[in-house]
Structure 1
Amino acid sequence: MKHIQHVFFDLDHTLWDFEKNSALTFKKILHEYSVNVSFESFIDIYKPINANYWKLYREERVSKEKLRYGRLNETFEKLNYNASDDLINLLSEKYIEHLPSFNHLFEGTFELLEYLQDKYVLHIITNGFEEVQTVKMEKSGILSYFNEIITSESVGVKKPNPKVFKYALEKANAKSENSLMIGDNLEADIQGALNCNFSVIHCNFDEEKVKLDNLISVTSLNEIMKYL
């Protein structure tokens, strides 16, 4: 990939270990606010519900507020736990507040960023909530590696909307033919970037079957060094 000058990363599920940090956050706040449910059952039920709400959020079918309330409300309903609106709203706020306190990164994050930083200009493109993404990067020690941080909220639409990628190119003073997107989500990161003529690398850490042809796919961050 000798033509690449700018490398754009997704954050959650790509560099920042969202599932691990999210689970630790819930373990803390469910205990702190005496929510009497099985933690393991809560996480097992919450994860697919949260993933579905994020899909709806990317598609502009639910608001940020509806996502934050709905994912918890549906989880408690499936657990047959009677949670009041006040409790759900409190947990929603505390979750966002405490999430950046846990800063597990995927193995190889620092090694990869150190390897890339002198060769390319690095950036972030994220659909995550603006008030927490920069704090996550700062507390996990990776913020200084990135030149531009592009959040979907700053654009007004979410990946895979092409407006996000075009805005990112403008902010970075980059051209799509010299840009690479690295991310985990086939729809939001990979197809969205391909539609805007980026090169792409798919982070397939769960080794799921991928339907896109001729796609560079890696199962660990260290593998990316083979291509850059």
Structure 2
Amino acid sequence: MSYAAIIFDLDNTLLNFELCERQAILGALEACGISLDLHGINETSFLQVYETYNSKHWRQRETFSPGELIEMSYRSTLAQLDIQTDQISNLSQNFWDIFNHSAVIEPDVNKVLAALAGSYHLAVITNGFVSAQIPRMQAAGIEHFFEEIVVSEAIGFAKPSPEIFHHTLSRLDLTPAQVLYVGDSLTHDYAGAMQVNIDFCYYNRKNQVLPQEVQPKFLINELLKLLELLS
């Protein structure tokens, strides 16, 4: 096979979104002097409640800013757990300060990118906010590997919309047949790549069983295996 470019998803493909978010959620509590131990609540319980509300509130991301959504998530979580504080706005600010500088990368990311950079054009397509995604890549020290970093907020289209893929192909001046896309989401990455006839490599980081109708071109559970299949 002869690809000219490898395009990556960002969250839970290159960066471990779950650990970055966990650091930010709990780090903000610590920065604002809110002790879960004093309220008899363990971290796992707090995170479970937070994630429930966070998923709900982020469905309103077209209406509210990221900071407002984080405030809403903390406010709902603390209310349910009966934790009183006047630090809601500070929690949100601290969350973003920590999250935007979190640099928890997936295993072997630097080795894989360094190996590919000499032979392929590299790019990223990510859903999210420019103010978060770019600083996180910089904090991880990986942004220099990529010729193009396409963030959904910047162009007004998010995966799996074909427009974000077409935009990236245009920036790279390549056709779909010249590109391999690597991602962890069947809903956003696989579905999007299939719509524009880009070969898809599914990074199955949790070894999930795929639905029978899902048939990616390649499947890996370690990023290092990407080097093997491209060799």
TM-score greater than 0.5 by the shorter chain? yes
Structure-2 residue corresponding to 1:213? 214
Q: What are the Cα deviations for residues 38-85 of structure 1, in whole angstroms up to 9, with x where unaligned?
A: 33322233345445655x36xx7664446434433443344343456x
What TM-score, normalized by structure 2, do the two folds share? Answer: 0.85
What TM-score, normalized by structure 1, do the two folds share? Answer: 0.86
SS state at 2:13 partner: coil
CA distance in 1, matches of 2:201, 2:26: 33
Q: What one-letter code is carried by the residue in structure 2 that aligns with 1:169?
A: L
What do you get for the CA RMSD once the two structures are aligned? 2.2
Shift of 1:16: 0.7
Asked if 2 retains the 8 angstrom alpha-carbon contact of 1:73 and 1:83, the reply is no
Structure-2 residue corresponding to 1:174? 174
Shift of 1:133: 1.4
Q: What one-letter code is carried by the residue in structure 2 that aligns with 1:125?
A: I
Answering whether residue 45 of structure 2 is matched by residue 41 of structure 1, we say yes
Answering whether residue 70 of structure 2 is matched by residue 68 of structure 1, we say yes
Structure-1 residue corresponding to 2:19? 20
Q: What are the Cα deviations for residues 112-166 of structure 1, in whole angstroms up to 9, with x where unaligned?
A: 1112111110001111210121111112111110000100011112111111111
Structure-2 residue corresponding to 1:31? 30
Name the count of aligned residue pairs. Answer: 222
1:117-136 superposed matches below 5 A:
117-136=117-136
CA distance in 2, matches of 1:10, 1:99: 18
Gaps of 5+ in 1: none
Asked if 2 retains the 8 angstrom alpha-carbon contact of 1:21 and 1:99, the reply is yes
Structure-2 residue corresponding to 1:193? 193
Structure-2 residue corresponding to 1:227? 229
Q: After superposing the two structures, state which structure 1 stretch, 69-78 or 205-214, moved more.
A: 69-78
